[in-house]
Structure 1
Amino acid sequence: MRGTMQRLVPARLERAGIRTGLRWKLSAAIAFVGALVAIALSLVVHNAARVSMLDNARDLADERIQIAQRNYDQYRRPNPFPNVKINDSSLPRELREKVEQGRRATYVTDRPGGEPDIWAAVPAANGNVLSLHTTFTDRSTDILNDLDQALVIGSIAVVLGGSALGVLIGGRLSSRLRKAATAAGQVASGETDVRVRDAIGGVVRDETDDLASAVDAMTDALQQRIEAERRVTADIAHELRTPVTGLLTAAELLPPGRPTELVLDRAKAMRTLVEDVLEVARLDSASERAELQDILLGEFVSRRVAAKDPDIEVRVVHESMVTTDPRRLERVLFNLLANAARHGEPPIEVTVEGRVIRVRDHGPGFPEDLLAEGPSRFRTGSADRAGHGHGLGLTIAAGQARVLGARLTFRNVRPAGAPDGVRAEGAVAVLWLPEHAPTNTGSYPMMP
């Protein structure tokens, strides 16, 4: 149960990662930057408009106080402007100091509610001070409010437009990256004819194309290196076949005895190793093709297992007619039986159910690295299942299964509810034959 929960948590995180993928991150970034720019521009425009209106109001107040000054100096009575006063006690101190210096000046103060007061003052005859006190007109306030409303609407439009643009650009980039990841995964699974650059498509070239070209170049280099190593391995094994055959023939001519038996045993093991290495090289080249025949799977397995080892129990749960390559199927079956006999413990059981073949032993189970990564050449497993051999049996079985279009899986049998650390009660290899056999080109027939 704990293992199941551990698998579910990454799956949930992965699903959560899709919702917060590149598209949404890019959209959020553009929206955030757009909001900052819109707020900054709105503040700048608002302040500039307010300052401009205040300057106009101060100029108007200055013109009126000059008219009031001329009228007062000439007629010794206040100007008809209603807000002009003589020696106003509420005149701001800073403005009064300017006037006392013999200067005409204007001044702006803010009320507690934020409304600006515009003052203008000028020295008059007889040491008097003429002052004018006005406020923002309703028209100016309405204009400023309308401007603020337009700026808010514009800012929201910028944020929404930036978000939409981010979704559009991010979606396209995310789609290209997903296609590249899918193609790279296909390459990693062995489909060497897949090209990441062709998979992402598109007319506009960007950094994604550079990444795809780099991945394709790396794939080509790795494929060439793997092919070179495979050819070297095949050539070495091929060159070893003749001297090993000669060694085996010479060993058979030796006089009977224990030394001769040891030499023959090692010579046969070496010949088997050479033949297995050649077979692995052929399977790695992906040039093998299945020679298909229609067979009754349960009857076929029963006869082959009985010829191999009569003590192995074969149980046919459900008979099925399959189209496959009998020789390769037999090779897979015998390798699984040999692995169970060499590394497991009796009894060995074979079960046929439809298109599925199960081979079970009652030994210590498969090593964890094999369950996690699959068969690997020249790796015989952990110490509790090592035994003898060169570790190519399951590798060949998996390769032949691929040629058949089948799937080969491995698992250990544990008591119900037992944690992973409990010793296994056996190992099970399961061969899943396909419903539609591969054609002679290695592909699968298309069903209508």
Structure 2
Amino acid sequence: MLSAVTVALAFAVAADRSTMTEGIARLRSQALDQLSAATATYEFADTLLDNAEVVGATDHPAAIPDGVVTAAAHNAAATYFDGTHMWAANAISDSDVLVVDIPADSLVAQRADLHHSLLLLGLVTSAIAVLGGWAVATSLTARLRRAARWVETGADGGPREADLGRDGDEVGELVAQIDRLSTTLRDRVRSEQAFTADVAHELRTPLTALVSAVELLPREGPEAGLVRRQVARLRVLVDQLLELARADQDQRSPVIEPVDVVALVAEIAAQIPAIAPDELVAPDEARMVLAEPQRLERIIVNLLANAHRHGAQPVSLEVSGGCVTVRDSGRGFPEEMLTAGPRRLHALGRSAGSGLGLALAQTYARQMGATLSLGNESGGVAVLTLPAVDLSQN
């Protein structure tokens, strides 16, 4: 649009200048012709034409420009255009100058008409430029939105439209690059998920035998205790791998219903006392959220377990406005985790954890359409955002 307006403005300036130059030249020619006729008439008949006047070279009416009189007193003839009149003067004696003037009404009217036409042309050009720019922008953004849906559908593994309409232009190239990148990332994620499932299943059988063998160890002794703790840790890791593999393959739609978070946390504390929160803040009007009970339970279990295992006491759980917040008093989450999010089998910072607990919580949250965000505020903070239940409607 800016280029079109610039071109229109340049054209208007050029047209106005050309019109003025030609009009002034035409008026000057007419004024000189009338000056010649007036001079001849005055010299032979001592008579002045209607638009002619004899003035003194040093004393003349204020309406007559000084420049034309002064120039005529030293030259054969002179002209001067003041914007509304074309003046022509010729010295007829040492002290007198013959002056004629031609009104430039026709030129002024012609210029006004030109300005009006140029204004209309500019408005039309601007309107066309705006409409054209809008059409191009709409077409481009429509293609980009369609391309985004096309790439997103492919990234989710769904069926794509048969024809995206790629024409080999910049948009088509951008779509192709994004599609290749999303395909690579999707394949990498699937490979990682398959690896997780394979490792979990391959470790399951020898782990069962290892657990049975540990039961044969003596009850006393530091070595036996160390082996039992490490086997228990390995068992938790394998169980988490199996759970994560099942979660990745779970394509069923979540069954969302009102859930009493306080009652759910009480059940968790009764089943796993070691991860019970030291403080539970849940006002009556905020204790209900919309979620799938089983997935919400697994999320809270993993968040509490992570806070107890890698944070420091006290650990609190707060329910407010559809948000379930778990806080600990430890060092907080590593900066890389805050930036990139939880990553399975990827230990960060000083933690010796596998990252599977938070990865599981994030997977369950995404499957329910919820969000899980991590932060550091006097310790680690994990916030699960869910729709709240309006108790006033019950």
TM-score norm. by structure 1 comes to 0.62
CA contact (8 A) 2:84 2:105 kept: no
Offset of residue 407 of structure 1: 2.6
User: Cα 1:224–1:37, aligned 2, differ >3 Å: closer, same or farther?
Assistant: same
Q: Is 1:109 aligned to 2:109, yes or no?
A: no
User: Cα 1:110–1:342, aligned 2, differ >3 Å: closer, same or farther?
Assistant: same
Offset of residue 359 of structure 1: 1.8
CA contact (8 A) 1:61 1:132 kept: no
Amino acid of the structure 1 residue aligned with 2:310: H
CA contact (8 A) 1:244 1:271 kept: no
User: Cα 1:272–1:111, aligned 2, differ >3 Å: closer, same or farther?
Assistant: same
CA contact (8 A) 1:297 1:352 kept: yes
- Which runs of 5 or more structure 1 residues have no equivalent in the other structure? 1-25, 97-106, 122-127, 414-423, 437-448
- Helix, strand or coil at the partner of 2:21: helix
User: Cα 1:281–1:42, aligned 2, differ >3 Å: closer, same or farther?
Assistant: farther
Alpha-carbon distance in structure 2 between the residues aligned to 1:57 and 1:363? 98
- Helix, strand or coil at the partner of 1:405: coil
- Which runs of 5 or more structure 2 residues have no equivalent in the other structure? 58-68, 390-394
Residue identity (%): 26
Superposition RMSD in Å? 4.8
Alpha-carbon distance in structure 1 between the residues aligned to 2:375 and 2:305? 17
Offset of residue 341 of structure 1: 0.8
Partner residue, 2:18:
44
Q: Is 1:401 aligned to 2:375, yes or no?
A: no
Q: Is 1:226 aligned to 2:166, yes or no?
A: no
Alpha-carbon distance in structure 2 between the residues aligned to 1:113 and 1:144? 9
Q: Is 1:433 aligned to 2:370, yes or no?
A: no
Partner residue, 2:109:
146
Alpha-carbon distance in structure 2 between the residues aligned to 1:270 and 1:214? 48
Q: Is 1:317 aligned to 2:283, yes or no?
A: yes
CA deviation digits over 1:197-254, x for unaligned, max 9? 99xx9xxx999x9444334323322232122112322332333334422432443436
CA deviation digits over 1:144-176, x for unaligned, max 9? 121232233334444444444444344445556
User: Cα 1:377–1:268, aligned 2, differ >3 Å: closer, same or farther?
Assistant: same
Q: Is 1:410 aligned to 2:374, yes or no?
A: yes
Offset of residue 397 of structure 1: 0.8
User: Cα 1:135–1:265, aligned 2, differ >3 Å: closer, same or farther?
Assistant: farther
Alpha-carbon distance in structure 2 between the residues aligned to 1:194 and 1:169? 37
Partner residue, 2:64:
none
Alpha-carbon distance in structure 2 between the residues aligned to 1:326 and 1:280? 18
Alpha-carbon distance in structure 2 between the residues aligned to 1:180 and 1:302? 52
Q: Is 1:239 aligned to 2:205, yes or no?
A: no
Amino acid of the structure 2 residue aligned with 1:110: Y
Alpha-carbon distance in structure 2 between the residues aligned to 1:262 and 1:187? 54
CA contact (8 A) 1:306 1:312 kept: no
CA contact (8 A) 1:317 1:354 kept: no
Partner residue, 1:445:
none
CA contact (8 A) 1:412 1:428 kept: yes
Partner residue, 1:440:
none
User: Cα 1:231–1:273, aligned 2, differ >3 Å: closer, same or farther?
Assistant: farther
User: Cα 1:111–1:59, aligned 2, differ >3 Å: closer, same or farther?
Assistant: closer
Partner residue, 1:332:
299
Amino acid of the structure 2 residue aligned with 1:303: E
Offset of residue 400 of structure 1: 0.5
Q: Is 1:344 aligned to 2:311, yes or no?
A: yes
Alpha-carbon distance in structure 2 between the residues aligned to 1:215 and 1:287? 31
Offset of residue 350 of structure 1: 2.4
Amino acid of the structure 2 residue aligned with 1:328: R
- Helix, strand or coil at the partner of 1:290: coil
Where do residues 123-202 of structure 1 align in structure 2 (5 Å cutoff)? Answer: 133=98, 135-138=100-103, 141-174=104-137, 192=155
Alpha-carbon distance in structure 1 between the residues aligned to 2:151 and 2:305? 30
Amino acid of the structure 2 residue aligned with 1:168: L
Q: Is 1:360 aligned to 2:311, yes or no?
A: no
Offset of residue 428 of structure 1: 3.0
CA deviation digits over 1:354-405, x for unaligned, max 9? 7443322222333445445543445555x4xx32202232222112011122
Amino acid of the structure 2 residue aligned with 1:247: P
CA deviation digits over 1:59-113, x for unaligned, max 9? 5556x489x49x98xxxx458665699xx998848855xxxxxxxxxx5432778
User: Cα 1:90–1:164, aligned 2, differ >3 Å: closer, same or farther?
Assistant: closer
Partner residue, 1:12:
none
Alpha-carbon distance in structure 2 between the residues aligned to 1:135 and 1:380? 100
CA contact (8 A) 2:347 2:353 kept: yes
